[in-house]
């Protein structure tokens, strides 16, 4: 069964951009009306971009963990976290309120231009982008091991102790497909 899961995961991940490639630059408007760009300080920042749809159960499961990453590391200006919604402003704001999200949520709604640039086939799709614009990590769906890896990479980049996003009292599955 592990071989089957690995094969499915490899097919899904190969459809999106892979680590080491240059991430497409973007500028999107957030639910707050502000404009956000993919890199504010080239060479000095790390960006975690998570694409989602409010109706997707796996997005609903994943985004609260992204909120925990934001809470754990938001004091560090070198880290940017953006949720990139494929839904309209009102639905995205309602989603943020329902799931307690306080990091910037950007809108990629008119023609999914940014989603297309990132070759999305499923949501959630997540990308960790370094200050030179290169992908350090990409993931489709929810993979517990991937989020453990992301917290390690963020901690190492910021030079701070790692903070877990999973509590010991939680039963977290190894994966959920998007």
For residue 81, the tally of other CB atoms under 10 A from its CB is 20
Q: Are the beta carbons of 55 and 116 closer than 8 angstroms?
A: no
Could you tell me how far CA 42 lies from the centroid of its own chain?
19
Fold entry, domain 2-176: Glutaredoxin (3.40.30)
| Residues 104, 49: Cα–Cα separation, whole Å | 10
Decide: pTM greater than 0.85. yes
Tell me the average confidence (pLDDT) per consecutive run of 10 residues in the chain, 178 residues long: 41 63 94 90 83 98 98 92 97 98 95 94 94 91 96 94 95 92
| Residues 178, 121: Cα–Cα separation, whole Å | 9
Q: Are the beta carbons of 142 and 58 closer than 8 angstroms?
A: yes
Spans of all domains in the chain = 2-176
The tally of CA atoms less than 13 A away on the side-chain side of residue 88 is: 2
Cα dihedral sign, 126-130-131-133: negative
| Residues 129, 143: Cα–Cα separation, whole Å | 18
Q: What is the pLDDT of residue 17?
A: 82
Q: What is the pLDDT of residue 15?
A: 55
């Amino acid at each position: 069964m592990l071989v089957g899961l690995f094969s499915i995961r490899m097919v899904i991940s190969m459809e999106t951009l892979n680590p080491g490639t240059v991430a497409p630059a973007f500028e999107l408007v957030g639910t707050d009306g502000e404009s956000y760009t993919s890199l504010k300080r080239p060479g000095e920042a790390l960006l975690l971009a998570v694409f989602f749809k409010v109706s997707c159960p796996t997005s609903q499961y994943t985004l609260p963990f992204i909120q925990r990453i934001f809470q754990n590391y938001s004091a560090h200006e070198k880290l940017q976290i953006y949720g990139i919604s494929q839904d309209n402003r009102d639905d995205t704001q309602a989603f943020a309120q329902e799931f307690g999200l306080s990091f910037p949520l950007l809108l990629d709604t008119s023609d999914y231009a940014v989603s297309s640039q990132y070759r999305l086939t499923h949501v959630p799709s997540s990308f960790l982008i370094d200050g030179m614009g290169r992908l350090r990590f990409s993931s489709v769906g929810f993979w517990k091991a991937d989020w453990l890896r992301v917290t390690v990479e963020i901690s190492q980049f910021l030079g701070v102790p790692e903070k877990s996003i999973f509590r010991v009292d939680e039963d977290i599955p190894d994966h959920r497909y998007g």
